[in-house]
Amino acid sequence: MDPLTALDFADRVVVVTGAAAGIGFGIASAFHQAGARVALGDVRAEALDAAAKRLGDRVFAHAVDVRDRKSVDAFVAAAERAFGPITVAVANAGIYPNAAVVDMTVEEWDRVMETNLRGVFLTCRAAARSMMARKAGGKIVTIASGAASSGRRGAAHYCASKAGVVMFTKVLAMELGEHRINVNCIAPGLVTVERGAEHISEEYTRSLTSTIPLGRAGTPEDIARAALFLASPLAEWMTGDVVAVDGGSSTGRTYLPFSTPPSR
């Protein structure tokens, strides 16, 4: 198969949640550049409209709160009225506040779980129902995080939600395989985005970057390339997989020196 042909999405309809900025916009932009008709969903209506204008034609924007079933179902239905049956769905919407467990409120815990985990469930369920109804297969991509397998202080709710996304993806892949729907997950590492960067300390970024073998933070484009691959025929025999896109930070304790002097 010609890789260039495989990455041509000219006949595809793609829905992306959390698409107004950051990783979500990067993913939506990549599919748009590959020829797809892209439905952008985000809870921030003003930012969503700005994102749609940046992309231009073949774009549909619709405000959606992924925590709410009716809102998610309405988003998918509106996207299909605008563009036709969806062929690719990317459940990306998520939040990442910080709070120590002993200081965390129930409301803070619930907000993260409702957005990061319930939101993925509702988005994937709506997409899967549509794909199953037309019996033509499809591709679903979820976005987890390296935090799913590597905890950090202040992020118990976030880490737990992303671990939940990983296992949800695996089970959904089991259930949808017979319908020729591939379900895979991307686990990004540190990614520099325009929104939220002001909430991340320089010390945190510097410390984490020092553990990345490739020596830099990722970009939304890095994650988007993985999404294109997983939604393409090149990944036809992949389902239930978690693809780490993290510059190698998940390889292990990269900060440790050689235990003994290396031989020359």
Cβ neighbours for 210, distance < 8 A, ≥ 6 positions apart: 255
Q: Give me the catalytic one of 96, 158, 204, 255.
A: 158
Residue 255 a catalytic site member: no
| Of the candidates 190, 189, 249, the residue with the CA atom closest to the CA atom of residue 214 | 249
Task: Report d(CA 175, CA 132) in Å as an integer.
Answer: 11
Cα–Cα distances in angstroms (integers) from residue 55 to residues 14, 27, 28, 264, in the given order: 14, 12, 9, 53
DSSP lists the bridge partners of residue 252 as: none
Provide the Cα torsion 149, 152, 153, 156; round to 10°.
-30
Tell me which residue has tokens 């940046």: 54
Dihedral angle sign, alpha carbons of residues 118, 16, 108, 71: negative
Task: Report d(CA 7, CA 13) in Å as an integer.
Answer: 14
Q: Which residues are catalytic?
A: 158
